[in-house]
Amino acid sequence: MSDSGGASGRSPRADAADPLSPDPTRFSVRRSGGRLTLDGVDLAELASDLGTPTYVYAIRQVCARYRAFRGAFTGVPLTVAYAVKANGHQAILSALAAMGAGADVVSGGELTRALAAGVPPSRIVFSGVGKTDAELDLALGSEVGAIHLESAGELARLDARAAALGRTARVGLRVNPDIVVDTHASLKTGERTSKFGIAFAEIGEVSRSLAMRPRLTLAGLSCHIGSQLKTADRHIAAADRLLESIPSLRAAGHPVDYVDLGGGMGIPYQPTEPDFDLGTLAAALAPRVRGAAVELVLEPGRFIVGNAGVLLTRVVDRKRRAGRWFVVVDAGYTDLARPALYGAHHMIVPCRWPSPTDPCLTLDVAGPICDSSDFLARGRRLHLPAVGDVLAILSAGAYGMSMASTFCARPLPCEVMVRDGEARVIRPRQTVDDLHRTEAVPNWSTSEPGRGNPPHGAPAENQK
């Protein structure tokens, strides 16, 4: 996942081989003449029209990935609960909802988004390690398909809220399956030491407690072992662990009609990386879920949207320091956090193709933020772009905009959706005014600063 650092210097142009080879379709973009396009839209022109940084999503690719995911499990009773956190834009959610997708949500905000986009409540699963009472109330009131419990304490809280509201709910136990996965440390969620889920040893106790709470029905077991996993074997191991518990739960009177294995199906971030092998996963899971007479729920996020999106950024400066080339661009970790946060590799491709005779260099692509971690790539072999050139950062459809922030008073990027050569702005660029519009400057009751402050929570005078 991580970039290797690298020495700088000139090199033969053979190093500048087409970065999209061998299969450009996996990254959605295409070279068309000297131009880079996304579903027929010229990305450099789009950047000139709308400015940068700008996210661009190919909705056909999103739908194709959803269909491919579903298609791999033909004949298996399956709900695809799209992980809203990957990219929760209404235009994406509503397209997926129209194709029959459910949603995996982890906050009241995501639940509200999914409902607004038309996802039927019965196809929504509410996960999340720290659900507040207000979020539990929203889930109860919305009659979501299942609320995934993280602990005995959360079970007691949910029951109390259900009693207070006169509601019932289907719940799942989010189990920590203690499965070691091969991915970045921050993306591992199913190991024994992780903060997520209920330990295997606690399932008996929590299910006995559930049996005494008639408002709540134990409908399923869930887990999410980690993200950006490259092979299916860990999901299969997780399925076996979860399915093992079902006979004793059913014998104790719990219906347990589904098993939810979470998301985590990885995508290629480089041409040499394989796509996740859904065929192997489906072939292994089909007899298991049939044998256990359960419905399967899967929560892919990245697999559906990751390679359907790019982030456009413009080169604002370039310089050479201590033998290293720095290309400074107008997108930083506020726009795409993954390279700085996880050392993640995102391909960077020029929107106007360089001449084959242009030399290739090893360079660092840096963002504008006052933090030395603000890089989009380090030690990357690229043609040295000119100031003003537009670069496309690939595989940015998942965990790009959804993790963006406004640090350094940087407005959130514009978002655009493309289809068949047409582009539509689906979220205008935030303005600097938007950033401080809701800030209040207190008008203290005493003229002496620091004295006579109103108690915490008291409204500032200009808000009264």
Active site residues: 370
CB of 435 to ligand LLP, least distance (A): 23
When the beta carbons of 103 and 216 are compared against ligand LLP, the nearer one is 103
Q: Please, what is the Cα angle at 398 between 395 and 399, to 5 degrees?
A: 115
When the beta carbons of 46 and 344 are compared against ligand LLP, the nearer one is 344
Q: What is the DSSP letter of 3?
A: P
The helix/strand/coil state of 445 is coil
When the beta carbons of 176 and 313 are compared against ligand LLP, the nearer one is 176
When the beta carbons of 117 and 337 are compared against ligand LLP, the nearer one is 337
Q: Residues interacting with ligand LLP, by CB under 6 A?
A: 83, 85-86, 104, 127, 187, 224, 227-228, 262-265, 299-303, 338, 398-399
Kindly give, in sequence order, each residue whose CB lies less than 8 Å from that of residue 56, ignoring residues fewer than 6 positions away.
38, 41, 43, 46, 309, 310, 311, 312, 415, 416, 417, 418, 423
Does an H or E element contain 234, and which? helix 233-244
CB of 235 to ligand LLP, least distance (A): 11
Q: Residue 163 is encoded by which pair of tokens? A: 């009693």
When the beta carbons of 16 and 331 are compared against ligand LLP, the nearer one is 331
Query: Would you give the end-to-end CA distance of the chain in angstroms?
Result: 51
CB of 361 to ligand LLP, least distance (A): 28
55, 396 in Cβ contact below 8 A? yes
309, 403 in Cβ contact below 8 A? no
Q: Residue 341 is encoded by which pair of tokens? A: 């946060």
Q: Provide DSSP, 55-105.
A: EEEEHHHHHHHHHHHHHHTTTS-EEEEEEGGG---HHHHHHHHHTT-EEEE
The helix/strand/coil state of 188 is strand
CA dist., res. 377 & res. 227, Å (int): 21
When the beta carbons of 162 and 344 are compared against ligand LLP, the nearer one is 344
CB of 186 to ligand LLP, least distance (A): 7
Q: Please, what is the Cα angle at 141 between 136 and 146, to 5 degrees?
A: 65
When the beta carbons of 161 and 338 are compared against ligand LLP, the nearer one is 338
CA dist., res. 258 & res. 102, Å (int): 14
CB of 359 to ligand LLP, least distance (A): 33
Altogether, the residues listed in the chain come to a count of 464
Within 10 angstroms of residue 295's Cβ, the number of other Cβ atoms is 16
Using alpha carbons, select from 334, 323, 407 the residue that is nearest to residue 375.
334
When the beta carbons of 43 and 265 are compared against ligand LLP, the nearer one is 265
Within 10 angstroms of residue 94's Cβ, the number of other Cβ atoms is 15
CB of 460 to ligand LLP, least distance (A): 35
CB of 353 to ligand LLP, least distance (A): 29
CA dist., res. 145 & res. 37, Å (int): 40
Does an H or E element contain 27, and which? none
Q: What is the DSSP letter of 413?
A: P
Closest residue to ligand LLP, based on beta-carbon distance = 263
- The answer, yes or no, to whether the previous bond of 22 is cis (omega within 30 of 0) is yes
CA dist., res. 7 & res. 12, Å (int): 15
CB of 357 to ligand LLP, least distance (A): 37
